Amino acid sequence: MAVSRRRMLAWITGTGLVGSGVLSAVSNFVFIKPRATYGQPQRFSIGKPDDFPAGTRIALEARRICVVREGNKLAALSTTCTHLGCIVGLADTGFACPCHGSRFDSDGTVTGGPAPRALPWYKITLAPNGEIEVDKDTEITPGSYLTL
C-alpha cells in the first residue's frame, strides 16, 4: 500500500519533534550541575571572644568586616563601602573610605561623602565550640550586639 505524501511529511515532522524533545530532556539532565560558588564563604568563624578585647575595633580586611567589642558586647560591621565597594579604613571617628571620601561614624552611619547608606551589621553568634561565627548573608539592625 502506497503512503501518501501528506502522511509521510506528517510522520517526518512528528518524529523530528519527538526527537528534539528527547534530546532537550537528555541535555538538560546531562548539564544539570550542583550550585557552586567560588567566592569566600559568607558564614565563617573569626576566633574566640578573647581575641577581641573590650574597647577594641579590629578590622579583618580579608573578610571585609570590623569586629567591635564594647564591654561584653560584640558586633561585626561590614567594611565594604556602600558607594562603590572599596574597603573602608578605621578612622578616629569611625570609618573612612579612601576612594571617594565617604565617612561613617563608629556605628556605620554615613556622615559624609557619596555613600548612599550605612555600613551593614552582620549577624554573629557564639558557636558551641566557643568561637564567634559571622553570617554575612544576614544583616541585622545596627546597634544589635551579641551579648557574651
What are 145's three cell numbers? 550586639
Nearest to 55 by CA among 44, 45, 68: 68
Residue type, 3: V
Q: Tell me whether residue 97 or residue 124 sits nearer to ligand FES (CB atom).
A: 97
Q: Tell me whether residue 59 or residue 86 sits nearer to ligand FES (CB atom).
A: 86
Residue 58 makes contact with ligand FES by CB under 6 A: no
Q: How far is the CB of 100 from ligand FES (least distance, A)?
A: 3
Compute CA distances 113 → 7, 8, 11, 106, whole Å: 74, 73, 70, 15
Q: Tell me whether residue 82 or residue 146 sits nearer to ligand FES (CB atom).
A: 82
Interactions with ligand FES, residue window 77-136 (CB under 6 A)? 81, 83-86, 97, 99-102, 113-115
Q: How far is the CB of 32 from ligand FES (least distance, A)?
A: 38
Cβ distance 142 to 135 under 8 Å?
A: no
Cβ distance 104 to 88 under 8 Å?
A: yes
The count of chain residues that interact with ligand FES, using the rule CB under 6 A, is 13
Point out which residues bind ligand FES (CB under 6 A).
81, 83-86, 97, 99-102, 113-115
